[in-house]
Amino acid sequence: KMENSLTDMIENENCQPDVFTLNSLIGSYGNGGKIDEMEKWYDEFQLMGIKPDIKTFNMMIKSYGKAGIYDKMKTVMDFMERRFFTPTIVTYNTVVEVYGKAGEIEKMDKHFKKMKHIGMKPNSVTYCSLVSAYSKAGLIDKVDSILRHVENSDVVLDTPFFNCIISAYAQAGDLKKMGELFLAMKERKCRPNNTTFACMIQAYNTQGMTEDAKKLEDMMITAKDSLDTKLIGC
């Protein structure tokens, strides 16, 4: 269907494909893991004289990363540098996330350092990827380092970040730190969500701390009822 629509567009002089069309195809095929199709249409658009933009490259990097084709991911980044496409925060966050999920800690750290070296400021998404990777690798000392850094920075910490770091300490069995972060989360006006509660409840139950788990379950129900009441009153 997508290819038929594109064919119709090309045949219609009043509706010609452009970089937005290219990005739609790249995103669709790339996210679906259809790398060959993604590459085919990238080449087709090049022949049509339609040039890619930074969004195109970011999507290709993510697609190659998800597919575990790291050499092509690097090729895209090298191409961007040669053609003077300035990487964005999305570019680096994607690379950090991809290498982190693959357990490639050294490569992840390398790109994180490069990101800071060129003056690009990491955000909560960056740090969440780092925390998840370090936690998965059992490097809780590095999670400690990240936490100290962000606490003394102006990085805006959101609920997903707190969920990420609470999960890291929960998996490490450091329930004291997990509880402290839960309190810090509320102090920063970050609303805990179902993910927050589920992670902590599981951690307490795993350690046999059923009373603490029950308290959180009650708190989760109260928080949900409070939110429902606010929504009804809107």
Task: Concatenate the DSSP letters of all residues of 104-154 into one string.
Answer: -HHHHHHHHHHHHHTTPPP-HHHHHHHHHHHHHTT-HHHHHHHHHHHHTS-
What does pTM read for this prediction? 0.84
Label residue 225 by pLDDT band (50, 70, 90). low
Question: What integer pLDDT is reported at residue 234 of this predicted model?
Answer: 33
How much is the average pLDDT of 112-135?
95
Q: What is the pLDDT of residues 80-115, one digit of tens each?
A: 988 888 899 999 999 999 999 999 999 999 999 999
In 3D space, the residue among 115, 79, 85 whose CA is nearest the CA of residue 97 turns out to be: 115
How many Å apart are CA 156 and CA 226, to the nearest integer? Answer: 25
